[in-house]
Amino acid sequence: MKSNRLSKSTVAQMRRRSFLKGVLAAGAASVFAPRVLLGAGSSGKVNLACCGIGNRGADDVKALQATGLANIVALCDTDMGAPHTQEVLKMFPDVPRFQDFRQMFDKMGKDIEAVSVGVPDFSHFAIAMLAMSLGKHVYCEKPMAHSFRQIELMMQAEKKYKVAAQMGNQGHSEANYFQYKAWVDAGIIKNVTKITAYMNSSRRWHGMKASGLLPEQPIPPGLDWDVWLTTAEDHKYNKGYMNGDWRSWFDFGNGALGDWGAHIFDTSHEFLKLGLPTEVEAVKLEGYSQFIFPQASTLAFRFPARGSQPPCELTWYDGQHNLPPLPSNLGAAVVDPNIPPPTTGSIDTKKLPPGKVIYGEGLTFKGGTHGSTLQIIPEEKAKEMASKLPPVPKSPSNHWKNFLLTAMGQEKCRSSFAVAGPLCQTMALGVIAQRVNAKLAFDPVTKQITNHKVANGLLAGVPPRPEWEQYYKL
């Protein structure tokens, strides 16, 4: 006789659907309004749930905890108990643990005021959208999301639910941020017409060839593969997608551009008010594949005039041998000693470290990545300008503290979704150009690609699996 008892997974799915229906019906934020919308709990700290507690997610957990302003109340990871989660688990042995962020909000929503999202690029969206719809503040790793549409919805949610939302490009709270702003305000950096940005270190997919997706392997018993996929289309499990290797695949990552662009040309994008480009051209792609990122890419982003500022072309170079044209008087490269090493090793700074050259009116600047400051080139010109440079204020808080203080109503997020969103959408357009290997015409007003039907369709990303459609309606 067949049992009428429902499986645990079926019951869990029913509970999650019922929970989300309640969120949608009640106007979302009113379901579990945070204890204080722009403040901290009774402890004087922000009650924080951490989604993603291994690899980069672990770095965020430790950095947020080190501020002294976070009270860690929940830990969530789809691979809870895996080796890369052990350090954080040992730090917080008594904190409730979850593999499914939906269950975490279902059971602990009233106890959570903010959420860190340190998971793969493609799975930022669902966690961040649910959190914001419940009135929770969000610290989300870069880039914000996987598709142009997802980024757009996240920007709208930040505004709609009036939460603190910070993207994790930590250089936005370090010296380069304050220097760049001061130099623009003082007219030192002005009328920029050309930016060269580059990241020529080895990437995971260099040397890889892919004629299709990876073959199916048994799902490890401790991994919730369905939740790991979130809104992505169904894939068969393979360890080649896990622990950072997802960066290699168009279906999951954003390549070298999405990974490093937010650390290299973020301040130029904000303080030069670049906004969205009108043209993105795949100038050069080596090792083109439908599945993994090219072995090398040269991408040209063309931004129109903005008020009194002239049109600007930003050219991106990635690939170990795709070196950019640089001024002969560049001198030594600018290297930020605080760059966190990738999980596969370290950035090779003996060759050409990641960086940029900015061509303005009368002056040329070289810079590195993250928080490293700009230098005027050549050296003789830098000496001549030294007495004319404005004072640069020191940062009042690091990036994680800035987020928590904003949640407490004391500061303003320096890399809010409103600021980071157009930057990430620009990079998303670059990824689309890599995928279709074409020159794209983009209308920043209608936010449509006007000359390439397939590319325009990619703005929306892949249709989510049925259970995940509702996250696009929050």
d(CA 466, CA 66): 39
The reported pLDDT for the residue numbered 343 is: 53
Neighbours of 12 (CB within 10 A): 15
Residues 241, 214 contacting (CB under 8 angstroms): yes
What pLDDT, on the 0 to 100 scale, is given for residue 427? 98
Beta strand 165-167 with 137-140 is: parallel
CB atoms within 10 A of CB 382: 16
Q: Are 231 and 126 in contact (CB under 8 A)?
A: yes
Amino acid at 231: T
pLDDT at 211: 92
Which of the 8 DSSP states describes residue 297? Answer: E
CB 58 within 8 A of CB 72: no
Task: Give pLDDT, residue 332.
Answer: 87
Strand ranges for 146-193 from DSSP E:
165-167
| The pair of three-digit structure tokens given for residue 244, joined into one six-digit string | 């950072």
Write out pLDDT tens, residues 287-322: 999 999 999 999 999 999 999 999 999 999 999 999
> What's the pLDDT score for residue 38?
46
pLDDT of residue 43: 73
pLDDT (0 to 100) of residue 19: 63
Contact 130, 474 (CB under 8 A): yes
Determine the distance from the C-alpha atom of residue 89 to the mean position of all C-alpha atoms in its chain, rounded to a whole number: 24
Strand-pair partners of 369: none
Q: Tell me how far the alpha carbon of residue 157 is from its chain's centroid.
A: 16
Name residue, tokens 């954003």.
Answer: 254
Closest to 138 measured CA to CA, from 118, 119, 160, 163:
163
The pTM score is 0.92
In the predicted model, residues of the chain with pLDDT beneath 50 are 1-8, 10-11, 30-39, 345, 349-350
Phi, psi of 306 (to 5 degrees): -125, 105
Tell me the three state secondary structure of residue 374. Answer: coil
* Amino acid, single-letter form, for residue 16: R
Strands (E), 110-252: 114-117, 137-140, 165-167, 194-199
pLDDT of 206-260, one tens digit each? 999 999 999 999 999 999 999 999 999 999 999 999 999 999 999 999 999 999 9
Can you tell me which residue has the tokens 């001198």?
A: 331
Q: Where are the alpha helices (DSSP H) in 27-147?
A: 56-66, 86-91, 101-108, 124-133
- Decide: helix, strand or coil at residue 403: helix
Computed on alpha carbons and rounded to an integer, the radius of gyration of the chain in Å comes to 22
Q: What is the pLDDT of residue 336?
A: 76
